[in-house]
Amino acid sequence: MGLIFWIDENTFATSLLEKALKSQGMEFYTVADARDFAYLINDLKPAFVVVDSATALKNIEAFRKQYEETERFSGSPVVILGDAEPFSFITNSIRKLERPFDPFKLKDFFR
């Protein structure tokens, strides 16, 4: 299925997500802020990029710049957690995921 790259400052939640997804055989990598991650997108080539809107909005200009300058990010489907409206600049496939969700059912969401 490929790597899920998750941007979210809530490290408690992402720790649980990591355990849940890896227990189901999925690859998972997370960063806690939206300031400096583009090099990871280039290196890891994720199947999906999941963005917590509250985390990205704290550094929206840096997030937008990395989105625009990272070829692989521009091609990966993007999942927004929360309000997707501020991310209208994202032109590739975009999906929305609402909280709360069951981390053990996310595998079906990403299929």
User: Which residues have a Cβ under 8 Å from the Cβ of 43 and sit 6 or more positions away?
Assistant: none
Joined tokens for residue 107 = 């595998």
* Residues 8 and 81 sit within 8 Å (Cβ to Cβ): yes
List the pLDDT tens digit at each of the 111 positions of the chain: 689 999 999 999 999 999 999 999 999 999 999 988 999 998 999 999 999 999 999 999 999 999 988 876 868 899 999 999 999 999 888 899 998 999 999 999 988
- In angstroms, the CA 50 to CA 1 distance is 15
Q: What's the pLDDT score for residue 92?
A: 83
Furthest CA-CA distance within the chain: 35
- In angstroms, the CA 46 to CA 28 distance is 9
Joined tokens for residue 32 = 């806690």
